[in-house]
Structure 1
Amino acid sequence: MEPKQQRKPLANVASIQTEYVRSLHKKEERIRARKVRLYRRLAAYAIAAIIILGTLTSTFINQKQALSVKEQKVVELLAELEVVTDEQEMLNRQIVKLSDDDYIAKLARKNYFLSDKNEIIFSTPDKKKK
Structure 2
Amino acid sequence: MNVPRKPNVTKLQSSYVSEQEEKKRKASRRRRVVAVRLAFWASLFMVLASVLIYTLHLQVKAIDAKTAEKQELKDQLAELEQQEKQLKEEMKKLHDDDYIAELARKKYYLSKDGEIIFVLPEE
The verdict on a shared fold, with TM-score over 0.5 as the criterion, is yes
Return the letter of the residue paired with 1:106.
A
Give the deviation of 1:109 after TM superposition.
4.4
Alignment CA distance shift 1:60-1:109 (3 Å): closer
Equivalent position of 1:72 in the other structure: 68
Structure 1, unpaired ranges of 5+: 1-7
Alignment of 1:105-124 (within 5 A): 105-106=100-101, 109-110=104-105, 111-112=107-108, 113=110, 120=113, 122-124=115-117
Structure with higher helix content: 2
Using the alignment, how far apart are the partners of 1:50 and 1:22 within structure 2?
A: 42
Aligned letter for 1:16? Q
Among 94, 97, 102, the alignment partner of 2:97 is 102
Q: Cα gap change, 1:69/1:22 in structure 2, threshold over 3 Å: closer, same or farther?
A: same
Cα distance in 2, alignment partners of residues 108 and 16 from structure 1:
122
Q: Is 1:125 equivalent to 2:113 in the alignment? A: no
1:15 match: 12
Q: CA deviation at 1:48?
A: 1.6
What is the match of residue 34 of structure 1?
30
Residue identity in the other structure for 1:76:
E
Provide structure 2 residue ranges, at least 5 long, that are not aligned to the other structure: 1-5
The more displaced of 73-82 and 53-62 is 53-62
C-alpha change, 1:22 and 1:103, in structure 2 (3 Å) is farther
Cα distance in 1 for residues equivalent to 2:79 and 2:114: 39
SS in 1 for 2:120: coil
The percent identity for this pair of structures is 21
TM-score by length of 2: 0.69
1:22 to 1:34, Cα distance in 2 relative to 1, 3 A = same
TM-score (norm 1): 0.66
Verify: 1:85 aligned to 2:81, yes or no. yes
1:62 paired residue number: 58
